[in-house]
A and B are shown apart, each in its own frame.
Chain A
Amino acid sequence: MRRGIWMALGATAGIGGALLVSRRASAASAASPAASGATPETPPTIELAGLPRAADVSGDLVRNWGETPVDLRPLFMLAEETARIRGASRVLAVIAYRESRFVTTAQNGNAAGEQDERDSSRDAYNNRKASNPPLRYGEQAAAFGSGGLFGALAPYFLWTGVPEVGDKAPLLGAPPSLVFQPRAAAFGAAVYMQRLLKQYRVDDIPDIKVGWANPGLLGKGRGGETYLSVRKRFLEDAKTVGIDLADTNTIPAKLDASAWPGVPAVFAGLVGALPKDLA
């Protein structure tokens, strides 16, 4: 699978929404409070709501989607509509193609030859654990690598929203495997896209993918070999998927996150709420 690096993913706070938790999840989570600092033996299984359907969104699901799987389009569109970033859905689809080939459980770090990805998630965890709120499943996240539709590094995924809402970030008590659930992955992606658009110089659509790979490339790395190769690959991916990035009817020339409703609202709209003992 494609390697995805989220350099500075934040967090969020959760409110509202319906979500199912398995019996196993309830039992496991009740035994291991985050405050104890201990890593639970077995992360709970959490079952978020399934993929959204066409009726759950109002945005167009036919025009300029190329070969994006029909049943994933409402998820990308829901991310766009919830985040209020017009054009985000198709861009997220191209990113998902690169990072996971649209496989929701894609993982880098679960195979013997993927030590580098495990090293990345370990580094991510070690470098930030002192300054970020504790993760209940921090050790598992450190050993997880990256995964999900958008190729998120597990620790950064679980810290999604921390810069915005601090220790109210909604995934601090969740296990890293939550990234395999598409609604949660989309939440992380929406927050990250918002941050890129608000905090970095993003000149055009391909710059978003550059920031996805490494936001440092949008600063000092701009114009360099890696910057250019990420852009080139992104444009190739868009062509392969069949999404016309120049179609301004569906993707504005520059995405705009000024209407961002806030991390809690996006979490509520995409994910719902985690069980109380995990939130």
Chain B
Amino acid sequence: MTPDLRCYGDDIQSVADLVPDFDLRSPMDVESWYPREWQAIADTLGFAQQLAAAPRAMPTTPDRITAMTLVGLMAFEHALRAGRPGVPESQARVQSAVLQAMTATGLERGELWRVTADPTTLATGACYAEGGRSLRAFYPDTAPGYFGDGWNGPPPRAESACGWQTPLVLHLGTFPWVYSSRLGHIGPGARWASSASQPALEGLHVVASLLEPATNLRQDARQVAAIYRHFATHTAPLVAALPSFQPGRAEAGRLYRRGRFLLAHQGSLHVAALDGPRGRLAASAYNYILRRFASFFAVRRAALRSLATLPFEVQRRAATSADPCLRQQVEGVARAS
């Protein structure tokens, strides 16, 4: 049976096709698909050397995908530790606590890709202290952007010590580009590291976990599809205006589209950007974000295809998911088997 992702919209199947299809039941497929995804992540986020130096397998887990996740996260952690702290220790500690709370809730709700919370209900009110002042630990991402039309409400129920007037919204599925704006060549989440705390690691952990079948199936894919559609709507005209890349006829330094992705011929993807009404979007960020959507749906498709071989608990959760498309697919798989 070939799982059909069209329940999420006609465009979703083609998003999944932006990365190679694979079969979770095939060790060879798994051994090639996941390292390729990690390589793409590491190339963009700048820890390719650490990934290359990491051990190929983790002796602590027999599961190949989990092992690759651990390897990738370990490589990222090494890079974070080697780099310069991006935030003060007090902010990093609050960020870690907030991320842990929000990811736990997001996972439970099936909304891990974009997590939202009333900041005043979170640890320290999502505030941190510095120089005698109370500051927001995250950017209040409320303006219309590439992932949504803004989040102005509901306002926090309690008064915020650091001035929160909106929900805290984080797009962890596209970490480190966690805000609907600020899509420059360095994702804001990549700076979430101090000398002692690495909240950025928790952010990338979400990206990695969404590539694992169990967590992928817990995510309500309708949320991902809606965010993708928003992203695609606002980037498609900008991408369409670019010339199509033709080998041998390209101009140095120019930004091209190659398929759905961008290519800066003899130039830096981190320097090149799309400029639109929703702001500047670094070409590297665009490619990375698009690939996150593609990978999510590719894993969803692969997980559905091999649903009967997944652990019973994963199957049970899928069968009772709030996502009607997923339930429909599970029923189809059950009928077919």
Contacts and interface: CB of A to CB of B under 8 A. Distances in A.
A104 B249 contact: no
Contact of B46 (A24, A62, A181): A62
A70 B265 CA distance: 16
Contact of A104 (B79, B186, B253): B253
A23 B267 contact: no
A236 interface: no
Contacts of B83: 62-63
Contacts of B43: 53-54, 70-71
A203 interface: no
B266 A62 contact: no
Contacts of A48: 266
Interface in B36-59: 43-50, 52
Contacts, number: 87
A64 interface: yes
A69 interface: yes
A82 to B, nearest CB: 18
Interface in A197-217: none
Given A54-B43, A102-B268, A71 B252 contact: no
Contact of B248 (A22, A102, A105): A22
A53 B248 CA distance: 21
A55 interface: yes
B253 A180 contact: yes
Interface in B158-187: 185-186
Interface string B17-50: 0000000000000000000000000011111111
A70 B44 contact: yes
A64 B252 contact: no
B109 interface: no
If over half of A's interface residues share one DSSP class (helix, strand or loop), that class is named, otherwise mixed; here it is loop
Interface in A124-172: none
A122 to B, nearest CB: 23
A60 B49 CA distance: 8
B268 A55 contact: no
A54 B252 contact: no
A68 to B, nearest CB: 9
B82 A55 contact: no
Q: Which one of B43, B50, B186, B268 has the greatest number of beta carbons of chain A within 10 Å? A: B268
B284 interface: yes
A71 B269 contact: yes
Nearest to B270: A69
Nearest to A179: B252
Interface string B242-253: 000000111011
19 contacts: A20-B248, A51-B268, A54-B48, A54-B49, A54-B52, A60-B49, A60-B82, A61-B46, A62-B46, A62-B82, A64-B84, A70-B45, A70-B284, A102-B270, A102-B271, A104-B253, A104-B266, A105-B253, A182-B266
Interface of A: 20, 22-24, 47-48, 50-51, 53-55, 60-64, 66-67, 69-73, 101-105, 177, 180-182, 242
Given A55-B49, A69-B268, A104-B252, 13 more contacts: A20-B248, A51-B266, A53-B43, A69-B271, A70-B46, A71-B43, A71-B269, A71-B284, A72-B270, A103-B271, A105-B252, A105-B254, A182-B267
